[in-house]
Each structure stands twice: as C-alpha cells, then as structure tokens.
Chain A
Amino acid sequence: MIKHLVKGALALALTAGLAHADEYPSESITLIVPYSPGGNGDITSRFIADKASDIMGVNFVVENRAGGGAFIGINSCANADPDGYTICFISTSPITVRPHVIEAPYDPMTDLTYLGQFMLSKQPVIVRDDGKFNSIDDVIAFAKENPGQLRWSAAVPRGGPHLATEAMFRAEDAVTTFLPSKGGAVELANLLSGTIDLAVISDYGPALDNGEIKILAETSPGRNPQAPDAPTLSELGYPLELASFFALAAPAGLSEEVIATWDDTMKQITDSEEFKTLMDRIKGQGAYLNSADFTARVRADFEAMGEATQTYGLAN
C-alpha cells in the first residue's frame, strides 16, 4: 500500500516537473474576484474558472478578496508575479472610472495586463412611463427651467453610468439633484414612487415589460436592444459614453504566450452554449474582445473619462 503511494507520488512529481518545463499552464491558477460571493461578477468568474479549468487542464482556485470598492483585490493581483498563475476579474468602475475620482493603490494604465472581455451590460437612462418626459430633450428642458428640481440616481454612485449622465447635465449647464443610492432595486422602487424622476440602472427588465418605465437613452456605446429607438449619449452629442464591461486582467508584464493562451480560452468559453445560457440568466450581453482589442478600449475609456473629469469637474 505504502509502496503504491510512494510510486504514485514519485510519478506525480516527475510529471509535474516535466509539465513545468512544458508550456503554460502547468500548475493551478488563482483567480482573484475583488467582490464578495454572490454578485454577478462572482457568479461569472466562477463559471469562467470552471470552464477554463476544463479547457486548460489545470485547477483553478477562485479567491474572493473584496473591499475598498474592488481596489484591494485588484491591487493584490497587480502586485503578483506576472507568470499567468495569478489573474483577476475586473469590471468598469475600479479600472476606468474611480481611479479618476479617488486615489487608487494601482495605476490602471501601467500596472495591469488586460486579458479578454467577456460581457457588457446596458445602462439605460429610464423614466416613469407617465408622459412627463418623452425624450432627453424634455429632461434637459425641465432641468434648465427648474434648477435643482430634477432628482435622479444611478445604481452605483460614481460609477460609469452615473458620471456619463452627470457629464451630460453639466455639458448642458443643467443643475440637478443626484440622490446617492444603494443598488438598482431600491432605485427602481424610488423611481416608481416618484422619489426620483430619472434613474440609470441595469436591472430594469421586468418594469419595462410591465410598461411602468421607458428608456430615453443609453449611456454605454451602442443602442439598447430593448429600446432600439432610444439614442446613445454620444449620438446625442454628449461628451462621455463608457462601456460597462466584465473582463479578466493579470499583473503587468505578462508574456505573449500566456496572453495568446487566454485569448484562445476566452474565445472558446464565450462561444459555448452554456455561456449563452448564463448570459440569459443574468441579463448580460456576451461580448468577447481579445486582449489587444480590450486593452485599446480600456485606454480609450480611461482617457475619455480623465478628460471629462477635468472639463466638467466630475471629481467634485
């Protein structure tokens, strides 16, 4: 019995050694999720880890390292060795938005390698379907005539959708009252009850189907498939439009070989039927971008956000 165990251990050690000399990946990969378990970011990350493990043939360890609005988890990823064995889940806010308004422990432009994007979510500007507002023009006109009287909110204070909409109001010199919130469900209730007149949230589906709300515009690039007639903010000529993405990142200085392996893996995962079911379930849009294309998007959004922050004083 012991003999067998020793033999097995030896064989394992040998193959492990061989594999190590071989190509990436040869040992287990840690995927850091900078949020608590249970959110969509966590659910999709665990799904990706599960599928990537099947494709790459190594184990994945998913670690939730939450806190500081995702700064803590992403920072520990940025400080890890760039060997491809520590990667992390990222979303819009801690990468392209918050570093402009709050001091971040890492520099999103130099400290991370961006791997593939896998999901986008729509972040529309919605109002009650009661005829008060029928277009963004109506909203702007009301806000200008009644300074400070238009009350509105977004699911994440100082997230991309909030600041893109704020930039719109500031570009129009419209004074509004932004009410800080805790999450989309509460804001939807506040919208229906008249506490606010306008909301920018992503979980609006049931209320839209029930005819309680109306979509006036979309704050991320590309029109909202559920409201193809509603223009995007940039179509309307407003300064800021930010993609609301889910993606993976790794420490800066990752080798080309590892990046290529991940490009290929993420493509396979996002093409699968199971991935599509997951997207349906969490109401996301599967949207694959490889490392190069996604890096370009992050840079563009980061710069646009930086510019808008300066021009419109969004940090205050």
Chain B
Amino acid sequence: METMDSILAGVALALTWQSILAVLAGIVAGQLLGAIPGLTATMTVALLIPYTYYLDPWVGIPMLVGMFKGSLFGSSVTAILVKTPGTPAAAATVLDGYPMAQQGKGEKACKMALYSSVFGDSFSDIVLIFGASFLAAIALKFGPAEYTLLVAFSLLTMGFVSGAKIWKGLFAMLLGMLLGIVGLDPVTASPRLTLGFLELEEGIGLIPMLIGFLAVAEVMRQMELPRKHLATSTVSFSDDPADRRVSWLEFKGVLPTLLKSSSLGTAVGALPGISATVAAFLAYNEAKRSSKNPEKYGKGELNGIAAPESANNAVSGANLIPLMAFGIPGDIAAALILSALLIQGITPGPVVFRDNPEPIYAIFTALLLANFFNLILGHGLIKMARRVVTVPKRILFPVVLVIAAASAYAMRGSIFDVQLVFLFGLLGWGLTKLAFPTVPLLIGFILMPILESNLRVSMLIAGSVPNPFAYFLGRPAFVTLLVVMFLLLVLVMRRILRDREAARAAGLRSGG
C-alpha cells in the first residue's frame, strides 16, 4: 500500500503540465539537433546547462530525458536518407538504411528506425523499472577480463560473416584496428603512430572518421557519376504504399531481431563505459550472423535497421541501471541526470528506493512518456526530412560536404579534424572502389581501443595475483562467457563449412 502511494506520488510529480511540456520540448529539440551531424545530444545539453540553473528539476530532468531519446532517433533519419549519421550511434543504421532509401523506400526505412527506437527504449525502460538492482549486480561481475572476451569474440565472428571474401573482410578489420590504436598508449601514456601530431594523441576522433568514411566518401562516389545524374533529386520516394510504411507482417518478421537487439543493448547499457555506438554495431553483427540470409544485409534489409536502432536506444535507458542501483552514471546522459538529482538532495542507490522513492518513479514516468512522444513526433520529422532531401543532388551534396567539415570542426575547434574528414573520405571511397567491405573497418576501429585497454588491464591483473588461472577461472561470468562463446563459435564454423560444401556441390553441378 505504501509502495503504491509512493508510485502514485512519483507519477504525479512527472505528470504536471510543465513536465509534459518539457518532455515534448526535449523530444523536438533532440530530434532536430540529433539530425545535424556533429551536434550530439550530449554536446547540446552541455551547451544549454548554464541556462537551466533556474529550472525546476521536474522540468529539467524530463527535458534531458526527452532530448537524449529524441536525438537517437533524429540522427538515424540523416543516416538513412543522406548516409550521414547525425550522431555516431546511428552509424550502423547507414548500412541498410541508405540502400533502402536509394531504392525509394526511405520512408519505410525511417519508420522502421522509429519503431525500433521506441521499441528499444521501452524495452530497456521496463527492464530498468523492474530489474535495475538485479541487473546491476550482474553487471558488476563484468571486469576487464570479461570485457576482453566479449570484444574479442565480436571481432572474431565479424571477420567470418562480413559477406565479402574473407580475406578482404579481415584486411578491412585489421586496418580499422590499426587506426584504432593511434594515440597515447593506454598503459605507458607514450604517443603511438601519431606521426608527431599533438592532435592525434587522444586518438582519431570518432566523428571525423565516421562522417568522412560514410558521408564524404558517398559524395565522392556521386561525383564520379555522369553529370545528368546530378540533376535528379537526392532521394526519390516511391509512391507505392507498401514502400512507405512498415506492415504488421513485416513488423512481426523483425520482432525476434528487435527483442534480441534490445536485450543486447540493455546488457551493454548496464555495463558502464561501453557506448551506444558499440551496441549498435554489435547488434547489427549478431543479427547478420544469426540470419538465414546474411547476404541480404547491406542491401536494404529491414532487420539491418531494426537491430542497430533498437540496440542503441536500449542503451540509453539501461545506462540508468548502474545509476539507480549504485549511483554510478553509465554515460554522460546519466551523469547529467545524477547531477540534477544531487541538487535536490537525492542520492540514487539502494537507500533511495527504501527511503524516498517518489523521484525515482517520477523519472520512470518521464521515460515512458518520452517514448510515447518520440513515436508521435517522429512521424513529423520524417515528413519534414522527406521534403528536404528531394532537392537535386547537385545542391544537396555540396551542402553535405560543408556540413561534414563544419561538424568536424565544431567538436573541438580543430582544422586538423576537418582535414581528417576528407582524408577518411578518400580512404572510404578507395576501399569501396576496390570492393572492400566497410563494416569490419568501422567495427575494428570502434572496438580496438576497448579491446586493447581491457586486455592490457587484464594482463596487469594476471600479474598481480598469485595464481592467474585460478583467478580468472574462479570468475563465474568469465567461465559462462567462455562456454557460450565456444558454442557460438562451433555454430559459426559449422555454418561456414556447410555453405562451402553447398557451394562446392553447386559448382560441381553447373560444371558437370
């Protein structure tokens, strides 16, 4: 009864008209700003913070929540329509979203992204509400050794399922990993592969790399096409109603992917320090690995949108799990919510659930409310974007180049980053020309720093315990992961062998 009272009090706190308006405003701002490359939600919120001192927390927190959720969806719209992810988290959405848009199914792709985002959000919010303390306790069992296993395994399966020739996939992945280790050595702090540039000491920036590799490379590819082609509109939209919406049957078809990717995103979000970008790529990789038709990925597969979109949104809700359970913010969004709570004298953690749970329930309400508004307002954004991208290519693509340069500059006021954008544009264009797959390169680049620092920390730990084998094999999470991965690896190998067998049989038949 008492619990019920505090739940109701919390819900009431979040359902005043000011709070509802704040969520709405946050969603609108988030969706629009998210769609602008280089302006991540975190950055926008950071710039706005000095102006929000006087806001009531029950206006401020719902607005923050709305902004973060809105921006994750907004950034996918540009990823799908113009191959330019608004934030790094949407980079994986480009892979199947852009091909769909090129086939005239841009609206369908955007809607799929919207439904997946809202699905991922709602999934992780519900997990957060009912299982925060339980999940957080499991997440704490994940140390550097477990992170190392997870990442190494993702890279391993990636190499095999990249679709193209295996050596090309592996080459692209290794190149990505090489780019990923540029910067200061994580243990000794001495510069590596920086060629003497101070700008490279913190590593190659994710935003210049992604924007160059995806957007600028695409503009270069378009420049090669005959001139006549440039007068056509950037994205044409098919008028066939089937290409403009996601049917119930199609939604049911991607539901397994949605569930799996949302779970994956929630798990990643519960682990502090792994970003939504990583979750999106992991989910894409896993959806492709387990698909019956992996060859369809990269050519406009609905599951290829559903997976990264639901996973990256699931991360944002799940980042609150370690926050609610222990007071550990999983990412910057969670850190901002934490600071707003601390001002009110509320310290998230086990104690608050017992003593003063109303604010926690208010946050939960705001989260669910934001999902609802995101869904409604998302349709408006899609309609707007549709109008913008029907301008002719010869107008839009130069604009994309300007935005690419400006957004790289905006991150840290560095001309060096602008040069990087164009360098990666050239690299991306060249690799596509030579038919190298791009996904393994991006995944290698994003995962390498996580793999390296965790592997090296694990080695340091191994050196600090009397018996390293006993230490690692005594960790239940480590052993469980090892077993699961071994089984998955067997599955992958079996499939590769079977495919090869089938290919050989087909070859024989056509040859004979």
Partners in one complex: yes
Shortest distance from the beta carbon of A208 to any chain B beta carbon, whole Å: 9
Residues on the A chain within 8 Å of B335, using CB: 185
Shortest distance from the beta carbon of B39 to any chain A beta carbon, whole Å: 10
Residues on the A chain within 8 Å of B411, using CB: 36-37, 64, 66
Bound CA span A149–B460, Å: 10
Is the CB of A183 closer than 8 A to any CB of chain B? yes
0 or 1 for each of B308-342: is its CB under 8 Å from A? (1 = yes) = 00000000000000100011111010010011001
Interface-located stretch among A234-242, A279-287, A300-308:
A279-287
Contact B50 A68 (CB under 8 A): no
Nearest residue (CB) in B for A150 is B464
Bound CA span A68–B348, Å: 35
Residues on the A chain within 8 Å of B392, using CB: none
Give the total number of A-B pairs whose CB atoms are below 8 A apart. 153
Residue A209 contacts which of B273, B328, B329, B351 (CB distance < 8 angstroms)? B351
Q: A195-B461, A210-B327, A280-B343 are in contact. Are A189 and B198 (CB under 8 A)?
A: no
Nearest residue (CB) in A for B456 is A180
Residue B463 contacts which of A148, A186, A192, A210 (CB distance < 8 angstroms)? A148
Shortest distance from the beta carbon of A26 to any chain B beta carbon, whole Å: 25
Contact B186 A180 (CB under 8 A): yes
Q: A38-B332, A282-B339 are in contact. Are A180 and B457 (CB under 8 A)?
A: yes
Q: Count residues of B near A (Cβ-Cβ below 8 Å).
A: 55
Shortest distance from the beta carbon of B486 to any chain A beta carbon, whole Å: 24
Is the CB of A6 closer than 8 A to any CB of chain B? no
Q: A65-B412, A158-B189, A192-B326 are in contact. Are A148 and B47 (CB under 8 A)?
A: no
Bound CA span A206–B324, Å: 10
Bound CA span A274–B49, Å: 13
Contact A68 B461 (CB under 8 A): no
Nearest residue (CB) in B for A179 is B457
Nearest residue (CB) in B for A38 is B46
| Residue in A50, A72, A274 whose Cβ sees the most chain B Cβ within 10 Å | A72
Contact A209 B53 (CB under 8 A): no
Contact B46 A207 (CB under 8 A): no
Is the CB of A228 closer than 8 A to any CB of chain B? no
Residue B413 contacts which of A39, A64, A148 (CB distance < 8 angstroms)? A64
Residue A182 contacts which of B141, B339, B453, B460 (CB distance < 8 angstroms)? B453
Bound CA span A36–B409, Å: 11
Is the CB of A114 closer than 8 A to any CB of chain B? no
Bound CA span A73–B416, Å: 13
0 or 1 for each of B443-484: is its CB under 8 Å from A? (1 = yes) = 000000000010011001101111000000000000000000
Contact A46 B50 (CB under 8 A): yes
Q: Count residues of A near B (Cβ-Cβ below 8 Å).
A: 55
Contact A65 B347 (CB under 8 A): no
Bound CA span A66–B415, Å: 11
**Residues A149-205 near B (CB distance < 8 A):** 149-151, 157-158, 177, 179-180, 182-183, 185-186, 188-190, 192-195, 205
Shortest distance from the beta carbon of B352 to any chain A beta carbon, whole Å: 8
Bound CA span A232–B144, Å: 31
Shortest distance from the beta carbon of A72 to any chain B beta carbon, whole Å: 5
Is the CB of B428 closer than 8 A to any CB of chain A? no
Shortest distance from the beta carbon of A308 to any chain B beta carbon, whole Å: 17
Residues on the A chain within 8 Å of B350, using CB: 210
Bound CA span A209–B345, Å: 11
Is the CB of A109 closer than 8 A to any CB of chain B? no
Q: A179-B460, A185-B273, A206-B342 are in contact. Are A192 and B199 (CB under 8 A)?
A: no
Residue A42 contacts which of B46, B53, B202, B465 (CB distance < 8 angstroms)? B46
Please give 8 more A-B residue pairs, beta carbons under 8 A apart, in addition to A36-B411, A37-B43. A38-B46, A177-B463, A180-B187, A189-B322, A193-B141, A205-B342, A206-B348, A212-B326
Q: Sample 13 A-B pairs with CB under 8 A, ordered by A number.
A: A105-B198, A177-B463, A185-B328, A189-B322, A189-B328, A190-B143, A193-B142, A195-B143, A207-B327, A210-B327, A212-B326, A281-B339, A281-B342
| Interface pairs A-B: 8 shortest CB-CB | A206-B327, A66-B412, A68-B198, A38-B46, A210-B349, A177-B464, A193-B140, A209-B347
Residues on B close to A: CB < 8 A?
42-43, 45-47, 49-50, 53, 139-144, 184, 186-187, 189, 198-199, 201-202, 272-273, 322, 326-330, 332, 335, 338-339, 342-343, 347-351, 411-414, 416, 453, 456-457, 460-461, 463-466
